Amino acid sequence: MNWRRLIEWGLLFLLLVAAIWAATQSRDAPLVILLAVLTVIALQFSLPPALSSVGLLPVVMVSGYLVVGVGTAVPLFVAGFVIAELSRPLWRPLWELTPTVGPETPTLHQRFIAFVIHLLALGGGVWLYTQRGGSAPLSQNTANAFPLFLNLMAGFGLVYGSGLLLWWLAQRQSPGAFFRDNGLLVMAAGFLALPFALLGGIVYALGGLPPFVVFCLGAAVFAVLLWLSWQRRYSLAQQVAQFAILNRSEHSLRETLELPEVLRRTGALVTELVSADRLALFLQEQGAWSGGDPSAGKLLPAALDDLTGWVAAHGRALHLVPANFHFAARHHLALPNPPPTVWLGLPLLLDGAVLGVMVLQRGGKARPYNRWQLELLHAVAAQVSVAVRNARLHGEMVRLYTLTDEALAQRVQQLQALLNALTEAVVMVDRQGRVMLANPMTAVLLDNTLATDTPLDLATAPWLGFAESQLAARLQELAAGTIRGEYGRVHFTPPTSPRRVLERQEAPVFDRDGQLIGWLLLFRDVTEAQELAERREDLTRMIVHDLRNPLTTMATTLQLAQERLSGVADDGTRPLLQNAYGSSQDLLDMVDSLMDMHRLEAGRSIVDPDAMRLPPLVDAVAARLQPLLVHKGIMLTITSSPDLPPVWADAELVRRVLLNLLDNALKFTPANGRITITMQPEPAQPGHEPGLRCIIQDSGPGIPPAFREQAFDRYTRTNPGGAPVRGAGLGLTFCKMVVEAQHGRIWVEDAPGGGAVVGGSQFVFTLPGVPVWDEGGEDAGVKG
């Protein structure tokens, strides 16, 4: 039992009771409660960039002072701060919405100092305001004293800005950074927000409580929308920054051929992308393992712990959080000591072999790595695998060329064997410009044979990706000993192979004394990567232009044939036409699903929502799959509550989601099994009427917990029994993308053991209710 959480909830309950009792002792109880609630909302939705100090709290404080006076406002704000802190666990899920690294929640210390600065700013404004003859609460006679309100605004803004600046300097931050990063926000909160606070006070003084309630509701809604807008911008900025880092890291790792430098750059890259209390890299070479912190640039012999050994043995990523620590116990794997809060192991794979394992750990109250971070880390692992392989090859070549003269011939043979096995073309030129080495792949990739022990001909420059003048300059630098190693990667096309794209890398070669002895060129064929991208686009265009139109024609023809036979005696032809028509519709649904997935990935909207009822759609989908149900002897049961509300969704897309989920249940349900579809109301989302939850259970083998998140990944087909499964693994991916595009949720879980369906899994998805429209006909909920 979490006693701390229990105590927090108990204190919150007692404080709320005390606050309600204290507020109801005066005739201004509704006003006091309204201001307290608005204070809590303003505190919870302050923006983190200025350390929880930017938001609508200045508006709430100043308007509260003008409405109830300083004697009531200050205790009210203090009580609101305490209530906000005790109720913070209720708001914590909102901080989980951002799919990237942050934002980090401001600490209690930061929130307290920010609140004190607000109180001091209010005190400064009130002092200057009262010194000039101002008073509060406002009355109808004092509501027109605009010059006095300027004193209140000036006093509040000066103390507010000065307090934040002193706080910034106390943390040893530069003043320039404060004004560059937070100056506009502080000015907006400290000065420009106060006219709105004045408006609230005047509204109450002239109109009483009802207009002031409308003002408070508007301020609360604006605070929430401002926070959500910032969160979306922050998420996008984080993703763009991480993409830039990932792109830069790929170039950085490919440019170096030294393993220590690869390790250091790997540590810097991972630390820049995600937070981790401990980062370790383990590499395997000839059956022996070495590991340590890659930032040190050196790995020492090490034995793998149970979790790291499992990742290395299975070649699969392992992400453990407290919710799935039972995975370790079930596989008899010991957790590290002390046990972390989050443990993540990623295999370094290359050509199906495990080169190593990258391990990240988080402790304390750290959050698990989200899907976006996991995808980034998988990409980093792939880059590191290639960089380690290249560094090892480079190290092996340098080692061979630094042997003594007596073993040089033998080592040259070993090097030649190694080069012959490479899929890259390797060319080495000595300082006199003579070709010392050219592996067989040189003739294959470059379409040009470079004879060894002969001068490098400038006429071969186009086949090496140079202009003749560039190659001549490079040979001059080589002869002078000034050739550099940071020329980067170059892509080019050989003159005799216009459809082939090659990538060139260069590096100087030194002997054991550090003397330059040659120039190494590495050529890699990257044609396939570009062709794959082109084929993907060609496939999409083929689906749109070459498949859909013939399928539509076929379906229309079959439908016309059925209509022509509607008045003719049935000789067995009509059922065949109906089956053919249904199969053509299934093909059209598959093509439409691929097209819709492509549009959604491109950021285009495909949803045309309207109010609809789900039970008739479920009945229609069940009727369409009835022949398959009868063929396998599966009993389908549909249950729904009598008072199901309508939902706000695209009926055609929901039909295809139901068809995919029910077809998926048919795949895995054994003969004579059972499938149950249950529909029940779902609590309302903000700005919507109550929605609907649909549960599809089956009596199949179920999906193991470790594979549930992967079930919705593209081309994933999970079958615990190992039997072949029909389908391409795109149906559940389509369902997830479509449901989330309609502001719903979808997940998979175990079917209840005590229900009608024993064992198996159940897929659950939700859809929002009909939007709540305001008097002007606009949707009062969140747009989009």
Residues 654, 697, single domain; the answer is yes
Within a domain: residue 774? no
The number of CA neighbours under 13 Å toward the Cβ of 467 is 3
Angle at 377 between CA 388 and CA 48, to 5 degrees: 135
Kindly tell me if the per-residue pLDDT of 193 is higher than 80. no
Query: What does the alpha-carbon distance between residue 56 and residue 35 come to, in Å, rounded to a whole number?
Result: 13
Residues 6+ positions from 436 with CB-CB distance below 8 Å: 428, 429, 430, 452, 453, 518
pLDDT tens-digit readout, 617-644: 999 999 988 888 998 999 999 999 888 9
The domain total for the chain is: 5
**Closest to 577 in 3D by CA, of 558, 555, 553:** 558
User: How many of the other CB atoms lie within 10 Å of CB of 84?
Assistant: 21
Structure-model confidence comparison of residues 101 and 165, the more confident one: 165
Residues 6+ positions from 276 with CB-CB distance below 8 Å: 270, 360, 361, 362
Query: What does the alpha-carbon distance between residue 555 and residue 562 come to, in Å, rounded to a whole number?
Result: 11
Query: What does the alpha-carbon distance between residue 361 and residue 280 come to, in Å, rounded to a whole number?
Result: 9
Within a domain: residue 781? no
At 132 the three-state DSSP class reads coil
Residues 6+ positions from 74 with CB-CB distance below 8 Å: 119, 122
Within a domain: residue 54? yes
The token pair at 524 is 């890699």
pLDDT of residue 757: 42
DSSP annotation of 174 reads -
At 662 the three-state DSSP class reads helix
Which of 367, 397, 427 corresponds to the end of one domain?
397
Structure-model confidence comparison of residues 676 and 780, the more confident one: 676
pLDDT tens-digit readout, 523-573: 888 888 767 756 765 666 566 566 666 777 777 787 777 777 766 656 667
Kindly tell me if the per-residue pLDDT of 251 is higher than 80. no
Q: How far is CA 348 from CA 256, 333, 381, 420, 775, in A?
A: 18, 21, 6, 25, 59
Residues 27, 145, single domain; the answer is yes
Residues 315, 462, single domain; the answer is no
Within a domain: residue 350? yes
Query: What does the alpha-carbon distance between residue 491 and residue 312 come to, in Å, rounded to a whole number?
Result: 35
Mean pLDDT value across residues 213-231? 73
The token pair at 267 is 């540590």
Phi, psi of 299 (to 5 degrees): -115, 140
At 568 the three-state DSSP class reads coil
Note down the domain range covering 755: 610-767
Residues 72, 212, single domain; the answer is yes
pLDDT bracket for residue 728 (50, 70, 90):
low
Count of residues making up the chain: 784
At 485 the three-state DSSP class reads coil
Residues 6+ positions from 137 with CB-CB distance below 8 Å: 66, 67, 68, 69, 205
Which of 202, 236, 270 corresponds to the end of one domain?
236
At 609 the three-state DSSP class reads coil
Q: Which CATH number goes with the domain that contains 364?
A: 3.30.450.40
Residues 614, 597, single domain; the answer is no
pLDDT tens-digit readout, 456-515: 888 888 888 888 888 888 888 888 888 876 677 787 888 887 778 888 888 888 888 888
Residues 48, 197, single domain; the answer is yes
pLDDT bracket for residue 758 (50, 70, 90):
very low
Structure-model confidence comparison of residues 539 and 166, the more confident one: 166
Q: Note whether 349 and 355 are within 8 A (CB).
A: yes
Residues 597, 617, single domain; the answer is no
Within a domain: residue 104? yes
pLDDT bracket for residue 649 (50, 70, 90):
very high
Query: What does the alpha-carbon distance between residue 47 and residue 226 come to, in Å, rounded to a whole number?
Result: 9
pLDDT tens-digit readout, 170-192: 777 777 766 666 666 666 666 66
User: How many of the other CB atoms lie within 10 Å of CB of 694?
Assistant: 27
Q: For the whole prediction, is pTM greater than 0.85?
A: no
Mean pLDDT value across residues 13-31? 59
Please state the three-class secondary structure of 383-440 as a single string: HHHHHHHHHHHHHHHHHHHCCCHHHHHHHHHHHHHHHHHCCCEEEEEECCCEEEEECC
Kindly tell me if the per-residue pLDDT of 445 is higher than 70. yes
pLDDT tens-digit readout, 88-120: 766 665 555 544 444 456 677 777 888 888 888
**Closest to 160 in 3D by CA, of 114, 96, 221, 112:** 114
What are the beta bridge partners of residue 49? Answer: none
Mean pLDDT value across residues 27-34? 72
Distance, first Cα to last Cα, the chain: 41
Query: What does the alpha-carbon distance between residue 421 and residue 399 come to, in Å, rounded to a whole number?
Result: 18
What is the average pLDDT value for the chain, to the nearest integer? Answer: 78
**Closest to 455 in 3D by CA, of 438, 430, 478:** 430
Within a domain: residue 261? yes
Best-predicted range by mean pLDDT (560-564, 659-663, 676-680): 676-680
Phi, psi of 311 (to 5 degrees): -60, -45
Q: Note whether 238 and 104 are within 8 A (CB).
A: no
Q: How far is CA 167 from CA 105, 164, 266, in A?
A: 18, 5, 36
Residues 469, 560, single domain; the answer is no
Give me the helix-helix angle, 259-273 and 371-401, nearest 10°. Answer: 170
Q: Which CATH number goes with the domain that contains 435?
A: 3.30.450.20
Mean pLDDT value across residues 721-730? 54
Within a domain: residue 705? yes
Residues 110, 193, single domain; the answer is yes
Within a domain: residue 780? no
pLDDT bracket for residue 746 (50, 70, 90):
very high
pLDDT bracket for residue 781 (50, 70, 90):
very low
Best-predicted range by mean pLDDT (78-82, 591-595, 687-691): 687-691
Residues 558, 620, single domain; the answer is no
Residues 561, 647, single domain; the answer is no
The rounded Cα 3 to chain-centroid distance in angstroms is 33
Residues 342, 221, single domain; the answer is no
